[in-house]
Amino acid sequence: MLSRDGQPLMPCHPARARELLGKGRAVVVRRVPFVIRLKDRTPDESEVEGVQLRVDPGSKGSGLVLTDEKREPHDRSTVVTVRRGLVSVELQHRGDQIRAGMRRRAGYRRRRRKANLRYRAPRSDNRARRSGWLPPSLRHRVDTTFSLADRLCRWAPVTGIHVESVAFDTHSLIAGRLIQGTEHQRGPLAGTTPRAHLRAMWNGACAYCGVSGVPLNVEHVRPRSRGGSHRISNLVLACVPCNKAKGSKPVETFLAHRPDRLATVLPQVKAPLDDAAAMNATREQLTTVLATLGRPVRAWSGRLTKANRLAMGLDKTHALDALCIGPLDHAAGDQIVRFPHHVLTAKASGRGSYARTTPDRHGFPRLLRTRAKQHFGYVTGDLVRAVLPTGKWAGTWTGQVSVRARGQHSLTTPTGRINVSHRNLRLLQRGDGYGWAIRSEATQSTSRKMG
């Protein structure tokens, strides 16, 4: 909620917002997230106690929650701190899509070079990168989390930011136990090479058919095209025929007729560490950029978050983890007394593509894309309301629109996608690169209140 001059005030209950709008004391500033502005009140005429923004960063998604903390009497002799969750937002990143898109683009580029040139000398790797550089898929996680935190700071009187900062020990994750000291220097490849390690592991034989005494290739069990890594646990030795026959197939499909071989290969394949590496690479930069919002930033450990969540009997979601960030003295009676029952989800969808052609699966241009993004006053991602007077879909529909050059746009509704003429549309809110939705927090809490 905003004041008359646009300054943030304390968040209010939806029923209170409906009452203010019904009396004409407020106007709608933004529909998703829903923000209103009072027409008859300034910050000096309001009691603004301030709220805290708690951020739980993740690789696939992040949770952001606005909370307030108050001191309330527990009994005649003690006073405890109670924390209430006011607004919950779950941000869904698209780093995996960016990574896949860049790999696809690199594949198209390499194909063009190989098709047009017999030989091209490798380019020297002399391009310097600025300090703090991150790959686009990781930079996206930092930028989108900061962008959403910036918006919440503009719409609510945030007095402090609490962020969870977790560092993963990937070597301990691989070993399955805590590794300390010089043990970090004694990995599976200590004193050997990948090929020698694989020869010793598979006795110089093909992992798929068992043949030996033939040339062997280093094979990715989970293909690179399907997200496989170069980790030694994802590598085996394969003869040339098996390597060619497997190609980019999943190993479960390729060895479906050899269950004994499949049972030998699968135990060595371990879960990829992409998520842990992404968190390690972005945690410090996220804290740094959040500090530019002008609010004090405090980083807390994931162990404290887990202890608070278990003590309050909450499920593990990004929104509830964000609510549990920061210290709570449970022995003294501190507790979380309220969490938002409805969580606003923001799925990063981007703002379109720079590509001017649509390629086929081989990378050849298939059709030309229009250079204009706006058609008949609408852009893909805009929130609109469609009023259809007749036909199968007669009625009023609200959703995000996908524009077409001929004016027959596509509208996403809860029941599916429908075609709507631009003449029957009314703009509610310009697209901001996110797909907004609401989900219910289905956890059973031991808290006193749930809103």
Q: Is the pLDDT of residue 446 over 60?
A: no
Question: CB of 74 within 8 A of CB of 80?
Answer: yes
**Residue 23 burial by CB count (10 A; 0-12/13-18/19+): exposed, middle or buried?**
exposed
One-letter amino acid at 93 equals: H
For residues 351, 284, 170 and 254, what is the CA-based torsion angle, rounded to 10 degrees? 10
The residue with tokens 């219910």 is 440
For residue 152, is pLDDT > 60? Answer: yes
Q: What percent of the chain has pLDDT over 70?
A: 97
What single-letter DSSP state applies at residue 369? P
Looking at residue 449, its pLDDT comes to 40
pLDDT at position 161, please? Answer: 96
Strand, coil or helix: what is 16?
helix
pLDDT digits (tens, 9 = 90+) for 33-53: 999 999 988 888 888 889 999
Region 355-367: mean pLDDT is: 83
pLDDT in the model for residue 445: 46
Record the tokens describing residue 211, joined without a space.
């043949």
Q: Specify the 3-state DSSP secondary structure of 150.
A: helix
Whole-prediction pTM value? 0.85
Higher pLDDT, 352 or 296: 296
Section 374-400 average pLDDT: 91
Confidence of residue 443 (pLDDT cuts 50, 70, 90): low
Mean pLDDT, rounded, for 353-362? 82
Q: What is the predicted pLDDT for the residue at 10?
A: 92
What are residue 196's DSSP bridge partners? none
Report whether 155 contacts 66 (CB < 8 A). Answer: no
Q: Structure tokens of 45? A: 């005429």
Whether 408 has a pLDDT exceeding 80, the answer reads yes
Amino acid at 310: L
Name residue, tokens 């409906």. Answer: 18
Contacts of 353 (CB under 8 A, 6+ apart): 369
Looking at the DSSP bridge assignments, the partners of residue 421 are: 408
E strand spans, 294-353: 297-300, 335-338, 342-348
C-alpha atoms less than 13 angstroms from C-alpha of 309 in its C-beta half-sphere = 20
What are the CA-CA distances from residue 436 to residues 34, 178, 383, 418 (Å)? 11, 40, 10, 18
Candidates 313, 331, 325, 317; CA nearest to 448 is: 313
Burial class (CB in 10 A: 0-12, 13-18, 19+), 116: exposed
More confident residue, 361 or 232: 232
Place of tokens 């036909």: 391
Instruction: Residue 187: count other Cβ atoms within 10 Å of its Cβ.
Output: 13
CA 369 – CA 324 distance, rounded (Å)? 47
